[in-house]
Amino acid sequence: MKKITLTLLLFLACVAGMAQGSKKLDLKDITSGQYRPTSIRNVVPMPDGEHYTQMNDEGTQITKYSFKTGEPVEVIFDVAKARECDFKHFDSYQFSPDGSKLLIATKTTPIYRRSYTAVHYLYPLKRNDKGVTTNNIIERLSDGGPQQAPVFSPDGTMIAFVRDNNIFLVKTLYGNSESQVTEDGKQNAVLNGIPDWVYEEEFGFNRALEFSADNSMLAFIRFNETEVPSYQFPLFAGESPRINGLEDYPGEYTYKYPKAGYPNSKVEVRTFDIKSKVTRTMKLPLDADGYIPRIRFTQDPNKLAIMTLNRHQNRFDMYFADPRSTVCKLALRDESPYYISENVFDNIQFYPENFSFLSDKDGYPHLYWYSMGGNLVKQVTKGAHEVESFLGYDEADGSFYFISNEESPMQQAVYKIDRKGKKTKLSQKAGMNSALFSPTMKYYINTYTNLDTPAVITLNDNEGKTLKTLEANNALKQKLAQVALPQKEFFKFKTSQGVELNGWMMKPADFSASKKYPVLMYQYSGPGSQQVLDNFAISWETYMASLGYIVACVDGRGTGGRGTEFQKSTYLNLGVKEAKDQVEAAKYLGTLPYVDKNRIGIWGWSYGGYMAIMSMSEGTPVFKAGVAVAAPTDWKFYDTIYTERFMRTPKENAEGYKAASAFTRADKLHGNLLLVHGMADDNVHFQNCAEYAEHLVQLDKQFDMQVYTNRNHGIYGGNTRQHLYTKLTNFFLNNL
Residues annotated as part of the active site: 606, 681, 713
- Residue 26 CB: number of other CB atoms within 10 A? 14
Residues 6+ apart with CB under 8 A from 417: 380, 381, 399, 400, 402, 423, 424
Q: 499 to each of 82, 578, 607, how far by Cα in Å?
A: 62, 12, 22
For residue 733, the tally of other CB atoms under 10 A from its CB is 13
For residues 438 and 441, give the distance between their C-alpha atoms in angstroms, rounded to a whole number: 5
Give the sign of the dihedral formed by CA 479, CA 481, CA 486, CA 489.
positive
Buried-state track 438-448, b at ≥16 Cβ within 10 A, e below 16: bebbbbbbbbb
d(CA 686, CA 691): 9
Are the C-beta atoms of residues 243 and 252 closer than 8 Å to each other?
no
Instruction: Assess contact for 306 and 318: CB atoms under 8 A.
Output: yes
Closest to 8 (Cα-Cα) out of 727, 538, 542, 722: 538
Q: Angle 418-422-426 (CA atoms, 0-180°, nearest 5)?
A: 75
CA distances from 79 to 66, 83, 106, 423, 597 (A): 22, 8, 12, 46, 60
Q: Which residue, 289, 288, 290, 268, is CA-closest to 279?
A: 268
Q: In what order do the strands lie in the sheet with 399-404?
A: 387-394, 399-404, 413-417, 423-425
Q: Cα–Cα distance between 484 and 665 in angstroms, integer?
A: 41
- Spell out the alpha helix ranges (H) of 70-180: none
Q: Is 1 within 8 Å of 514 (Cβ atoms)? A: no
CB of 565 closer than 8 Å to CB of 595? no
Q: Which residues contact 496 (CB under 8 A, 6 or more apart)?
A: 584
Sheet holding 500-507, edge to edge: 487-494, 500-507, 550-555, 517-522, 595-605, 625-629, 672-678, 704-708
Name the phi and psi angles at 330, rounded to 5.
-65, 125
What is d(CA 60, CA 49) in angstroms, rounded to the nearest whole number? Answer: 24
* CB of 470 closer than 8 Å to CB of 70: yes
Amino acid at 122: L
The candidate with the shortest Cα–Cα distance to 355, out of 364, 367, 341, 340, is 367
Q: How far from the centroid of its chain's Cα atoms is residue 614's Cα? A: 25
The SS3 assignment for 101 reads strand
Q: Are strands 217-224 and 190-192 parallel, antiparallel or unpaired?
A: antiparallel
The residue among 108, 102, 65 whose CA lies nearest residue 85 is 102
* End-to-end Cα separation, the chain, in angstroms: 30
Question: Which residues 6+ apart lie within 8 Å of 575 measured at CB?
Answer: 610, 611, 614, 659, 660
